[in-house]
Chain A
Amino acid sequence: AQRVTQPEKLLSVFKGAPVELKCNYSYSGSPELFWYVQYSRQRLQLLLRHISRESIKGFTADLNKGETSFHLKKPFAQEEDSAMYYCALESNAGNMLTFGGGTRLMVKP
């Protein structure tokens, strides 16, 4: 069975500090991983996907198959980054996404 674990429910950092939101997964196949974000009073939306190897809003995430991790990182947090972040895994069947429990990021001024 596939599983996504986000060990931190809440992460609080000061503006300008580096931030890392942790995500670990378990899946027997070759996973596709994503980060979704939900800003206050907005819908859940895709932030980035590992296959694109892109940086979105300064965020990057590297898939580490050895550690089965897909941590989300940003070198300098901004107040507008405050939101709920969800890590998600898509199975090879491509039927649906399995989400982690989410991490609330609070960036303090």
Chain B
Amino acid sequence: NAGVMQNPRHLVRRRGQEARLRCSPMKGHSHVYWYRQLPEEGLKFMVYLQKENIIDESGMPKERFSAEFPKEGPSILRIQQVVRGDSAAYFCASSPGQGTGELFFGEGSRLTVL
């Protein structure tokens, strides 16, 4: 089991461009979580998804950010019209079910906005 796979590991964008971050959960896991880590800060919850459903997006900015987890393929976190403040490490985690408490994390995608 390869674990949670995130790509790209590093992404550089200019202000106003779009960023797409992908996450493939562990085999057999149907729950995906996205977290953001700003420089010198802890992990902040963004969104929790199951296949084809957004369960909780309370941590996601209302504008420019969106997430999906389609029936087939990886989960995608999309940031439109990026700004410098979006520069951060974005971590994806997966779990086999709700309320297990154990999340399996990917290595993260580091977004740099110039």
Contact = CB atoms under 8 A, between A and B. Distances in A.
A43 B101 contact: no
B105 A43 contact: yes
Contacts, number: 53
Interface residues of A, number: 20
Contacts of A97: 33, 45, 101, 103
Contacts of B93: 44
Count chain A CB atoms within 10 A of each CB in B48, B91, B103 and give the residue with the most.
B103
Interface string A90-109: 10001111111110000000
Contacts of A101: 41-42
A43 B3 contact: yes
B99 interface: yes
A15 B112 CA distance: 37
A100 B98 contact: no
A32 B99 CA distance: 10
A94 B43 contact: no
Contacts of A34: 101-102
B54 to A, nearest CB: 11
Contacts of B44: 99
A5 to B, nearest CB: 10
Interface of A: 6, 32, 34, 43-46, 49, 51, 86, 90, 94-102
Interface of B: 3-4, 33, 35, 41-45, 48, 55-56, 59, 91, 93, 98-107
